[in-house]
Amino acid sequence: MPIEKHRGIIAPEVLISLNTEHERRMSLTIKEDDPAAKLKEVRLTGFESATVAFRLDHKGKRVSEFINAACKNINKGCDAIIITSSEGNGYIFICELKSESPKGYREQMLASSAFVKYLNAMLDNFFGLTLGKFKIKYILFYKKRINKRRLRHSAIPPEKKQKGRLTILKYPNPPNPLNIKSIMRYFSNLGFCHTEKL
Mean pLDDT taken over the chain: 84
User: Which ranges of the chain would DSSP assign to H, the alpha helix?
Assistant: 2-9, 105-127, 180-189
Residues with Cβ within 8 Å of 169's Cβ and at least 6 positions away in sequence, in order, are 137, 138, 139, 140, 158, 159, 160, 161, 183, 186, 187, 190, 192
Is the pLDDT reported for residue 82 higher than 70? yes
Per-residue pLDDT of 119-143, as tens digits, reads 989 989 999 988 878 889 999 999 8
Q: Does the model's pTM come out above 0.75?
A: yes
Q: Facing residues of 44 across strands?
A: 28, 178
Task: List pLDDT tens digits, range 137-150.
Answer: 999 999 887 766 55
- Contact predicate 138/166, CB 8 Å: yes
53 lies in which domain range? 2-197
Handedness of CA 162, 160, 90, 79 (dihedral sign): positive
User: How far is residue 183's CA from residue 19's CA, in Å, rounded to a whole number?
Assistant: 19
20-34, 43-57, 115-129: segment of lowest average pLDDT: 20-34
Residue 90 has pLDDT above 60, yes or no: yes
Number of domains present in the structure of the chain:
1
How many Cβ atoms sit within 10 Å of the Cβ of residue 41? 14
Mean pLDDT across 40-54: 90
